[in-house]
Amino acid sequence: MRTLVLHKKNIMITAMLLVIFAVAGAALVGLTFEETVDVIKENEKLTLLKKLNNIVPANVYNNDLLHDTTSVKASKLLCTSEATTAYRARLDDKNIAVVLSSIAPGGYNGPIHMLVGIYADGRLAGVRIVKHRETPGLGDVISISRSNWILGFNNKSLSNPDSRHWKVKRDGGIFDQFTGATITPRAVVEAVHNALLYFKTNRELLFYTPESEKPAVTEPSDLSIKKATSP
């Protein structure tokens, strides 16, 4: 009987120690998270800013690109099913560019998610692929890390080329397709053209900000972080 009592006592002590270690471990994880969450958020902001500055150069605007934003409703032209964020670049009170989220639904292996930057005059500032599942060595050439193909959109507009030539060369357009992979570039070209059409229709709304919500112009001392993240 005494042995059984001692055995039960040892089990209780072991269980209590496990509970104490579990609580202490959870508290330590929580404390570590609290101390690093701000750092993680700041790194995420800098990563996003770098992506945006790859499209709209940091030296052409002086506002806070990450906070001068507007919500864009779900759109058929952008192929978005929910609201997305558009980032506005301005130089003092002059509208410079807007960066939109767009999706090319007709990729070979599924939707292709993009950021499309458009200058206020309707020219493309640049396009970047942010997520895709295209075949390595074929369709993935749309990514800037794989080739310069995506740079072919720079400074193009609805009038350059005209609508008949906003296609890959195989379809009578001006944009290159890839050897053995036409579906992917065809989908991207169409999506970028649709983004330009969306911008043309919604330009004023995209740049509009009520006077009470206009952000302050970024001071030169604050631009060092922005420019440090530029390519």
pLDDT per residue as tens digits for the range 204-227: 999 998 766 665 544 443 444 444
Cα 179–chain centre separation? 28
Residues ≥6 apart with Cβ < 8 Å to 188: 104, 107, 112, 114, 127, 129, 142, 150
d(CA 64, CA 217): 7
Question: Phi then psi for 10, rounded to 5 degrees?
Answer: -65, -40
Whether residue 118 contacts residue 124, with contact meaning beta carbons closer than 8 Å, is answered with yes
> Which of 4-13, 16-25, 70-79, 209-218 reaches the highest mean pLDDT?
70-79
User: Of the candidates 221, 226, 220, which has an alpha carbon nearest to the alpha carbon of residue 92?
Assistant: 220
* Token representation of residue 206: 């995209």
d(CA 215, CA 17): 54
Which sign does the torsion angle of CA 48, 54, 55, 60 carry? positive
Q: What is this structure's pTM?
A: 0.76
161-181, pLDDT tens digit by residue? 999 999 999 999 999 998 878
User: Of the candidates 65, 187, 171, 172, which has an alpha carbon nearest to the alpha carbon of residue 117?
Assistant: 65
* Token representation of residue 64: 């806070």
Helix (H, G, I), strand (E, B) or coil at 169: helix
Core vs surface per residue 16-38: b (16+ CB within 10 A) or e: eeeeeeeeeeeeeeeeeeeeeee
122-147, pLDDT tens digit by residue? 999 999 999 998 888 888 899 999 99
* Token representation of residue 161: 């080329």
Does residue 186 carry a pLDDT above 70?
yes
Q: How many residues does the chain have?
A: 231
User: Of the candidates 102, 96, 85, 122, which has an alpha carbon nearest to the alpha carbon of residue 192?
Assistant: 102
